[in-house]
Structure 1
Amino acid sequence: MNRRVVLVGNVVADLVLDVPALPERGGDVLATRTELTAGGGFNTLVAARRLGIETVYAGLHGTGPYGDLVRSALAEEDIHALLPPRTDGDTGFTVALVDDGERTFVTSFGIEGRLTREETARVRAELRTGDLVQLSGYALALPSNGPLLAEFATGLPDGVGLSLDPGPLVADIPDEVLSPVLARVDWLSCNTREARLLGGTVG
Structure 2
Amino acid sequence: MARIVVVGSINMDLVTTVRRRPEPGETMSGEGFALVPGGKGSNQAIAARRAGAEVTFVGAVGDDVFAEELRRVLHDAGVRVSRLRRVDGPSGVAAIVVDGNGENSIIVVGGANSRMTELDDADLEAIAAADVLLCQLEIPVPTVVAAARHARANGTAVVLNPSPVQELPAELWAEVDIAVVNEGEAAQLGSALDAVPHVITTLGADGAIYRGPDGITLPQPGVRVNVVDTTAAGDTFTGALAAHWHEGPEIALAWASTAGALATTKLGASASIPTRSEIERLLSR
Query: Does the TM-score normalized on the shorter chain lie above 0.5?
Result: yes
Amino acid at match of 1:59: G
The number of equivalent residue pairs is 191
CA offsets 1:7-58 (integer angstroms, 9 cap, x no match): 1010111111111122222221222121211112222122221222111111
Please, which moves more after superposition, 87-96 or 191-200? 87-96
Report what 1:109 is aligned to: 110
Q: Is the 8 A contact 1:162 1:184 kept in 2?
A: yes
Report what 2:2 is aligned to: 3
| Shift in Å, 1:121 | 4.0
Q: Spell out structure 1 runs of 4+ moving beyond 4 A.
A: none
The within-5 A match list for 1:188-203 is 188-203=179-194
- CA spacing shift, 1:87–1:44, aligned 2, 3 Å: closer
Q: Is the 8 A contact 1:120 1:152 kept in 2?
A: no
Q: Is the 8 A contact 2:15 2:96 kept in 1?
A: yes
Query: What secondary structure does 2:66 align onto?
Result: helix
Amino acid at match of 2:145: A
Please, which moves more after superposition, 92-101 or 151-160? 151-160
Report what 2:123 is aligned to: 123
Normalised TM-score (structure 1): 0.85
Which of the numbers 146, 149, 153 marks the counterpart of 1:154? Answer: 149
Q: Is the 8 A contact 2:148 2:158 kept in 1?
A: yes
The within-5 A match list for 1:1-203 is 3-40=2-39, 41-99=41-99, 100-117=101-118, 119-139=119-139, 145-156=140-151, 157-167=153-163, 169-171=164-166, 173=167, 175-176=168-169, 179-203=170-194
Q: Is the 8 A contact 1:150 1:180 kept in 2?
A: yes
d(CA) in 2 for partners of 1:42 and 1:146?
Answer: 17
| Shift in Å, 1:64 | 1.6
Q: Is the 8 A contact 1:13 1:38 kept in 2?
A: yes
Please, which moves more after superposition, 42-51 or 78-87? 78-87
Query: What secondary structure does 1:89 align onto?
Result: coil
User: Which consecutive residues of structure 2, in runs of 5 or more, have no partner in the other structure?
Assistant: 195-285
d(CA) in 1 for partners of 2:20 and 2:145?
Answer: 38
User: Which consecutive residues of structure 1, in runs of 5 or more, have no partner in the other structure?
Assistant: 140-144
| Shift in Å, 1:85 | 3.5
- CA spacing shift, 1:102–1:133, aligned 2, 3 Å: same
Query: What secondary structure does 2:71 align onto?
Result: helix
Identity of aligned residues (%): 27
d(CA) in 2 for partners of 1:51 and 1:151?
Answer: 27
d(CA) in 1 for partners of 2:88 and 2:82?
Answer: 18
d(CA) in 1 for partners of 2:182 and 2:84?
Answer: 33
Query: What secondary structure does 2:124 align onto?
Result: helix
